[in-house]
Amino acid sequence: MPRANKALSERLQSVISDRRVPGAGVVLFGLDRETRIGVAGLRRSGKADRVKAGDFWHLGSVGKSMTATMMLRLHERGVLDLCETVMSGLAGTEAGRLVDARHFSSVTIADLLSHRSGIRANPTYAVFSRYVLFGEARQRINRAAIRQSLTRGIGPASEYQYSNSGYGIAGLIAAHRTGRTWQELIQEHVAEPADLPSLGFGRPEWHGENPWGHRRTYTGRGFTEFKITKRGLDLELMQPAGDVFLSLADLATYGNTHLELLSGEPHALLEPASAARMFDPVGDVMDPIRGGRYALGWHVEDAAPDFGGQRLIWHNGSDLFSFAMIGLLPESRMGFALVTNALQKRWREDQSLVWKPVAEFAALD
């Protein structure tokens, strides 16, 4: 069982108290340093059960890099080609009969992974609510969500438009080509070669004593525990966008694995050419203030202002009931992650609100 660092935990406690978040964890890691974990707060708001260093945390879209890693490994093995079209990847499937050839004739698997496919970000609220609120069968709603994603694009292909559904379509292609589920492929191509024994799927609290998800109170001045039984992420289309959880120790292992890949040296997880492709940004700058662009499963900032102008590789994620953020600094050969069991929406909209306390944590190292 990992032990929590006292200084990190105390600083984290002040951060979550200031932001009224029930519980959180932070981990600092690197290729030349010891992993350090800090935890603070409660697994469930209003209960006495405190967060532990070995708890599991939902990662949300941080898991997109796992799906991208898996797709790159299938590309290396000749199972699929990232340059082939979505129409080719889905040929012979029920989903393939739905593809709008006018929009998707030139959209590739790589476009899906770099958010340049023109696919809508998510199924509509009306589709989600038929499953979550009104109890329609999950498989039926999943088919409706796939149809909605493929029958027409909502933006020009090749232009950046963040899409969870796009990652879902990539997962469907991988499942079709291999005859295995996305979960099985992530276990085989990510969890096992990267040595992540805690990796699992769904909400962490469904798998033992772990932090619960929380929602805003009706007053808006804090969070209350929320017993989650159904979510949009239950749909097969949505899971490859990031329905995974990890312990903080394994999240550090995952981060260190990607720091090793960034070094360009041969690695058992990905060949150097595949690793370079994963971290190579596609297209123009998306954020004129921070200079960020998107690669395959990772945001890339060439000169992050929060970290002395260093190159920053990062991703955040949320299932609306929790939040996660991971960052890698290749020049310093180190990284960090922050996880909480509630979502402060401003954190998702303004990354600097997260990087500021994280930079302070790193200074304690």
Domains of the chain, residue spans: 6-65+188-363, 82-179
Between 125-132 and 138-150, two packed helices, what is the crossing angle to 10 degrees?
170
pLDDT in tens, the chain (365 residues): 678 889 999 999 998 888 889 999 999 999 999 999 999 999 999 888 999 999 999 999 999 999 999 999 999 999 999 999 999 999 999 998 988 888 888 999 999 999 999 999 999 999 999 998 888 999 999 999 999 999 877 766 778 999 999 999 999 999 999 999 999 999 999 999 999 999 999 999 999 999 999 888 777 777 888 888 888 889 999 999 999 999 999 999 999 999 999 998 889 999 999 999 999 999 887 776 677 899 999 999 999 888 889 999 999 999 989 999 999 999 999 999 999 999 887 777 777 778 888 888 777 66
Q: What is the pLDDT of residue 52?
A: 97
Given the candidates 3.40.50.300, 2.60.40.10, 3.40.50.1820, 3.40.710.10, the CATH classification of the domain at 6-65+188-363 is 3.40.710.10
**Contact assessment for residue 233 and residue 35, using Cβ atoms and an 8 Å cutoff:** no
Can you name the CATH fold of 82-179? Answer: Methane Monooxygenase Hydroxylase; Chain G, domain 1 (1.20.58)
Determine the Cα–Cα distance for residues 194 and 268; give it in Å rounded to an integer.
9
Determine the Cα–Cα distance for residues 110 and 121; give it in Å rounded to an integer.
16
Distances (CA, A) of 292 to 166, 172, 315: 20, 28, 11
6-65+188-363 and 82-179 have identical folds: no
Q: What is the pLDDT of residue 288?
A: 67
∠ CA 80-325-123 to the nearest 5 degrees? 55
∠ CA 323-82-104 to the nearest 5 degrees? 90
Q: What is the pLDDT of residue 357?
A: 82
- At position 58, the amino acid (one-letter code) is H
**Contact assessment for residue 221 and residue 20, using Cβ atoms and an 8 Å cutoff:** yes
